[in-house]
Amino acid sequence: MIGDQEFSLLAQEYWQRCRATLVCVDAQGALCHGKPTCQPTGCLRQCAEIRRRAVFEALRWGEPSVTSCPGECAVWAVPLMANSRVYGGLVALGVPLDKDHLHREFTSERIREACTILRLLAEEHNLTNAALLELRRLALDRETDRAKAIHLLKSNGYDSIREIYLREEPALLAAVKRGERKVAREILNRVLVGIYHFGSERKDLLKSVILELVVMLCRAAVEAGAEPSELLGANFHSITELAALDEEKDLCHWLTNMLERQMDAIRDHRQYPNIVLLGKAMAYMREHVGEELDRDVVARTAGLSGSHFSHLLKAKLGQTFTQLLGQYRIDQARQLIVRTTRSFAEIAAECGFTDQSYFGKVFQRYTGLTPGDYRRRHADWHC
């Protein structure tokens, strides 16, 4: 379990960034560290159950989801994990919700941002299983895409599997060749929904159509630069698995995994090596260091997926995206502190920090000095 001092620092940092109280609970929702801002008489057991549920809902969806306690406070959480075992959670308690569901100064956008910050803090301090949470978020995205596909199928009024192929295949091939994973996944979902709509009673027909899709995807991947021998080896093993599958969800999962493999093969065998793509993403971060940066957006500027970008950062630099961004921002701040007479509030804003107090804390973490001490020590550099 997280220690008293570590929790205290996390809770203080989270309050400064999000103005929400943080508590630490065990797997049953019982308090371990921190004091709730809302504790109406007689609802101790009910609040513990709500905290427990918030932790496991975050595990289920891969990110915090918002609920409320009996005292009408917004509640969200992130699981504390050792590998796949949940041993507790960090639970955030927002301001009380008013009759219009949200406090005027604590909007839904701020709550969503606070949810993301809580997850990233837990990941940065290695308190949760970041890889597992990402897999859960991907699974949720896939289910969302599938629901959209069902809606589109009904609105487009397809009459046969062949019609689906004729209308969707060109766009699917183009998306695969461009390496546009999300677009390809959405199109594949539409095709799958149509296949099951028209051929749900014919398992043999379903599998033959799925095999045709695999061949088509493999051809597109090779044309986009993937290595044929690697694809053939992976596909041969997977096709033997296909014969044993009968359930719709298993077949869908199998084909979706095949698509992901094709896209990974394209990504891994692009003309530019990974180190060049990583350098391009890092250059974008430096150029836009004062802006609000999202990992996935930065990754896309270099033709990388968010997860692969994170993997490269960890493998090549030993840092997370958040750590590297913080380093870039502090590096720029150091230059501005010693080479200009701007106020620390102005420097904080220019370097991407919305809160001067938080800027000072991060600056001291990276340099060992407060901004004021740093300026005084390097006063002879000023020009």
Pairing of strands 73-82, 21-26: unpaired
Helix, strand, coil shares of the chain, percent, nearest 5, are 65, 10, 25
Residue 153 and residue 57 in one domain = no
Q: What is the pLDDT of residue 156?
A: 57
Residue 249 and residue 345 in one domain = no
- Residue 284 exposed, middle or buried by CB count within 10 Å (0-12, 13-18, 19+): middle
Residue 81, pLDDT > 70, answer yes
Residue 180 and residue 256 in one domain = yes
Residue-wise pLDDT tens digits, 280-308:
889 899 999 999 899 988 988 887 788 88
Q: What is the DSSP string of 277-310?
A: HHHHHHHHHHHTTTS---HHHHHHTTT--HHHHH
The stretch 345-351 carries a mean pLDDT of 93
At residue 98 the predicted structure's pLDDT band, cuts being 50, 70 and 90, is very low
Q: What is the DSSP string of 170-225?
A: HHHHHHHHHT-HHHHHHHHHHHHHHHHHHHTT-HHHHHHHHHHHHHHHHHHHHHTT
Domain boundary among 70, 96, 128: 128
Q: CA torsion 36→42→46→47, rounded to 10°?
A: 0
Q: Domain residues for 151? A: 132-268
Domain boundary among 104, 128, 152: 128
Pairing of strands 67-68, 31-33: unpaired
Give CA–CA dist 36/7, Å, rounded. 14
Q: What is the pLDDT of residue 199?
A: 56
Residue 363, pLDDT > 50, answer yes
The stretch 363-377 carries a mean pLDDT of 90
Q: Which of 45-49, 201-205, 305-309 has the lowest mean pLDDT?
A: 201-205
Say how many domains are in the chain: 4
Domain boundary among 128, 162, 195: 128
Q: Residue 71 is part of a domain; what is its CATH number? A: 3.30.450
At residue 165 the predicted structure's pLDDT band, cuts being 50, 70 and 90, is low
Q: Which of 126-130, 186-190, 221-225 has the lowest mean pLDDT?
A: 221-225
Q: Residue 360 is part of a domain; what is its CATH number? A: 1.10.10.60
Q: What is the pLDDT of residue 216?
A: 76
Side by side, the strands of the sheet bearing 21-26 are 31-33, 21-26, 85-96, 73-82, 67-68
Residue 23, pLDDT > 90, answer yes
Residue 179, pLDDT > 60, answer yes
Average pLDDT of the chain, as a whole number: 79
Residue 260 and residue 285 in one domain = no
Residue 199 and residue 260 in one domain = yes
At residue 102 the predicted structure's pLDDT band, cuts being 50, 70 and 90, is very low
Residue 381, pLDDT > 70, answer no
Residue 218 and residue 175 in one domain = yes
